[in-house]
Chain A
């Protein structure tokens, strides 16, 4: 579906590396790490089987949940999106992130059984 033209990806990469602030890049690195962990868990589940299914789900849901929460934080903290989030300052966004992550991990640990 996507074009095979490598130039577009080059401009994409260039625009990303130059325009993105340092803090957002750190968040992106964390998100990439979460993707890797999630994929690893999934591959392991496919290869070995899903016997303690709740354990697999807890682990996988923690990576997915943490990924979307980090993505939310990244969106909210991005200066480019300031107009969309009038009432959410970056500090408030981080507090939201912390609150949601704590709940998420409480339930992950509970679900691990």
Chain B
């Protein structure tokens, strides 16, 4: 019988083996479900940010650790350069560098690209393991296994960790969960060893991801809530003090973090709670020494006064400027309208938008409705570590509602809570040992029970009652001496099988979401031919390789910042701005050059030694993420710096419409971006029938004229268009009059050239 295998006769060894096998299978599933894109397309880095991480990893592997830490990258932010070693979180690159060297050391050399591509799936297996340990501390091993299975395949986490997504979050979620596990362990045991380990992994987390601030605020918040609940114990003192004292010192060793842990508001909660814990511990110590009642009351008020005084000191230091206030990125989490008004560059990123409710169901499936139940169960038991889950759930839920990308930090908490809820339910309904009909010896105990309680026949009729009483086991145990438990097989079968069905559906849902939504590399675009076969649109790499092969080694490419990392990574050319948006003015300069008339833009391009300008144009293919659709953000960012020269209003028609057809405003038609996007585009179509398939509108009959740039390359589907900046005129004329002169003298001749082939325009 199946029950016999699972009963007490089963040795602990067999359970241990089962556990290892289950965890290995979960890790296998977690890795396998992230490989869709590698199998469908190729082993390539996705998105934008990973291209910089990949480039930095290559640099690390090639030049060694010390060169990497001191790396000055002169191929980005052209006139300025970037102190890359001091402005990145090196944890990701060092991890993959270590793996690369370790594999090399055992004579199994793997290309660094493949390590970078497969790092996130590998670490997702470790995340499942860390979640298992964490949940084990919360409830028991079976809940841990469920939580590990959930996080292994939950789309909310997969979305940021598919193969090829070589971003910081790839290792950060593992470190987050493992640090939290070590913290809970330290708190439970009250040991400086676990506190020190938590600090070490916190250090690794700081090295890996800017989201470490979440940990820095979660742990103090947990401690603060525990103190307010009157649960202060010496274990809290030992765990928190050792974590904070070591962790803060360690976090300051990361060059990018520097002195921030003592100078910025984000880290002040941790410092304040550190002070509070010291005071509370001291007062508790003194209270134990003196019996006087009045004195003890005074000591309590002493703690409150010290706390208020400390808070006032922090506020005063912040107001006086000694402690830096919240940075815009974090502040916009509290004041959700702040970024849109003051820092358009933050608001312009699509990941920074509020979350719509369907994406909760999309990313978390059935876990989202088990999540509140799990939090409720934490409330019912409410041990110190359950307070942590509650605090984590509240904070992460809020943040994920404010910003789409923070769904990632919510997912582990949801998995843990949902696993606790599901496992409590399964505990009740799979509890075979109390069943009266399992075996002979169980029957005798049942007989004893039925003596005191109801006859067996009644039991099945009062199934719902029994069920309910089992669900509130803790309460009914105290209230009555009646035996509790679910004795009817039908009950169990219905509940357990329906949950089994939910679990199976969850697996299907996760696989479907992963396969359809989160496994498409943005570097290659996949489309379907009418017969259902796949057609790959590879314009990005076509254009980047053109740049790589056909331009001088030191050519400067200007593009909008979205493509900076990809150009540096794939084309290996110098860019003006990139995805690390540390210098807003420089980005606004590019925005101004893109959105101004040629006469204004040309001097800007010349001053910045720009050789080529690259724009993304999706009008021919209907690719909506192109630069015309991003154009308004360029205008807004430029307007933030030069409100007199660039005005957003000028790009709208009198009726407030953003148009590109005949009715487009003169400012729009004369902007460099418009001209570059639609240059020669009308030649593709019969006279006067040029259509833009993204905007869905007909273009003006007359195509734009470019005086200061010449078309250097246009990719097969016209997605990437590259223009060469003309040199100054030989005889000192401005470009417009030189063009007019030449056109009047001889008829303009177009060199024939098929699209996709390099085109030189003779003028």
Residues on A facing B (Cβ under 8 Å): 1-3, 8, 11-12, 15-16, 19, 53-54, 57-58, 61, 64-65, 68-69, 71-73, 75-76, 80-81, 84-85, 87-88, 92-93, 95-97, 99-100, 103-104, 107-108, 110-111
Residues of A contacting B193 with CB < 8 Å?
95-96, 99-100
Pairwise interchain contact A103-B199, C-beta atoms closer than 8 A? yes
Residues of B contacting A58 with CB < 8 Å?
249
Pick from A8, A19, A65, A95: contact of B246, CB under 8 Å: A65
**Given known contacts A85-B234, A104-B249, A111-B249, is B290 in contact with A68 (CB within 8 Å)?**
no
A87 and B233 CA atoms in complex are apart in Å by: 15
Cβ of B238 within 8 Å of any chain A Cβ, yes or no, is yes
In the complex, per-residue mask of B237-257: 1 if CB is within 8 Å of any chain A CB, else 0: 110011011101110110000
Pick from A75, A88, A110: contact of B237, CB under 8 Å: A75
Cβ of B604 within 8 Å of any chain A Cβ, yes or no, is no
Residues of A contacting B244 with CB < 8 Å?
68
9 shortest interchain CB distances as A-B pairs:
A68-B241, A65-B245, A96-B192, A96-B193, A100-B196, A72-B238, A100-B192, A15-B289, A61-B249
Pairwise interchain contact A71-B237, C-beta atoms closer than 8 A? yes
Residues of B contacting A75 with CB < 8 Å?
234, 237-238, 281
Pairwise interchain contact B246-A15, C-beta atoms closer than 8 A? no
Identify which of B191, B234, B238, B244 gathers the most chain A CB atoms within 10 Å of its CB.
Answer: B238
Residue in chain B with minimal CB distance to A80: B288
Q: How far is the CB of A24 from chain B (nearest CB, A)?
A: 11
Residue in chain B with minimal CB distance to A61: B249
Pairwise interchain contact A76-B249, C-beta atoms closer than 8 A? no
Residues of B contacting A19 with CB < 8 Å?
289
Identify which of B233, B244, B246, B302 gathers the most chain A CB atoms within 10 Å of its CB.
Answer: B246
A44 and B66 CA atoms in complex are apart in Å by: 34
A4 and B190 CA atoms in complex are apart in Å by: 36
Pairwise interchain contact A107-B250, C-beta atoms closer than 8 A? yes
**Given known contacts A72-B192, A88-B191, is B290 in contact with A12 (CB within 8 Å)?**
yes
Residues of B contacting A110 with CB < 8 Å?
253
Pairwise interchain contact B234-A81, C-beta atoms closer than 8 A? yes
Pairwise interchain contact B189-A3, C-beta atoms closer than 8 A? no
Q: How far is the CB of B58 from chain A (nearest CB, A)?
A: 27
Cβ of B195 within 8 Å of any chain A Cβ, yes or no, is yes
Q: How far is the CB of B384 from chain A (nearest CB, A)?
A: 12
Residues of B contacting A103 with CB < 8 Å?
196, 199-200, 246
A81 and B233 CA atoms in complex are apart in Å by: 10
A11 and B248 CA atoms in complex are apart in Å by: 38
Size of B's binding interface in residues, CB under 8 A: 40
Cβ of B305 within 8 Å of any chain A Cβ, yes or no, is yes
Q: How far is the CB of B1 from chain A (nearest CB, A)?
A: 38
Pairwise interchain contact B234-A97, C-beta atoms closer than 8 A? no
User: Can you report 23 residue pairs joining A to B where beta carbons are below 8 Å apart?
Assistant: A2-B299, A11-B290, A19-B289, A57-B249, A58-B249, A65-B246, A69-B245, A71-B237, A71-B281, A75-B237, A75-B238, A76-B192, A81-B234, A84-B234, A85-B190, A88-B190, A88-B191, A97-B192, A99-B192, A99-B196, A100-B193, A100-B195, A104-B246
A45 and B193 CA atoms in complex are apart in Å by: 32
Q: How far is the CB of B290 from chain A (nearest CB, A)?
A: 5
Residues of B contacting A61 with CB < 8 Å?
245, 248-249
**Given known contacts A65-B245, A96-B193, is B252 in contact with A111 (CB within 8 Å)?**
yes
Residues on B facing A (Cβ under 8 Å): 189-193, 195-196, 199-200, 233-235, 237-238, 241-242, 244-246, 248-250, 252-253, 259, 262, 278, 281, 286, 288-290, 292, 294-295, 298-299, 301-302, 305
Residues of B contacting A15 with CB < 8 Å?
289-290
Pairwise interchain contact B249-A88, C-beta atoms closer than 8 A? no
A96 and B248 CA atoms in complex are apart in Å by: 19
Is chain A's binding surface mostly helix, strand, loop or mixed? Answer: helix
Pick from A12, A72, A84, A92: contact of B289, CB under 8 Å: A12
**Given known contacts A69-B242, A99-B196, is B191 in contact with A92 (CB within 8 Å)?**
yes
Pairwise interchain contact A8-B190, C-beta atoms closer than 8 A? no
Pairwise interchain contact B242-A68, C-beta atoms closer than 8 A? yes
Pairwise interchain contact A100-B289, C-beta atoms closer than 8 A? no
Residues of A contacting B305 with CB < 8 Å?
1
Q: How far is the CB of B254 from chain A (nearest CB, A)?
A: 11
**Given known contacts A12-B290, A72-B238, A75-B237, is B192 in contact with A87 (CB within 8 Å)?**
no
Pairwise interchain contact B249-A108, C-beta atoms closer than 8 A? yes
Pairwise interchain contact A72-B241, C-beta atoms closer than 8 A? yes
Given contacts A96-B196, A100-B193, A107-B249, 20 further A-B contacts (CB under 8 A): A1-B301, A2-B299, A54-B252, A61-B249, A68-B245, A69-B242, A71-B241, A72-B195, A76-B192, A76-B238, A88-B189, A99-B196, A100-B195, A100-B246, A103-B199, A104-B246, A104-B249, A110-B253, A111-B252, A111-B253
Pairwise interchain contact B290-A57, C-beta atoms closer than 8 A? no
**Given known contacts A8-B290, A69-B192, is B259 in contact with A104 (CB within 8 Å)?**
no
A11 and B289 CA atoms in complex are apart in Å by: 8
Q: How far is the CB of B270 from chain A (nearest CB, A)?
A: 13
A73 and B190 CA atoms in complex are apart in Å by: 11
Residues of A contacting B292 with CB < 8 Å?
8, 11
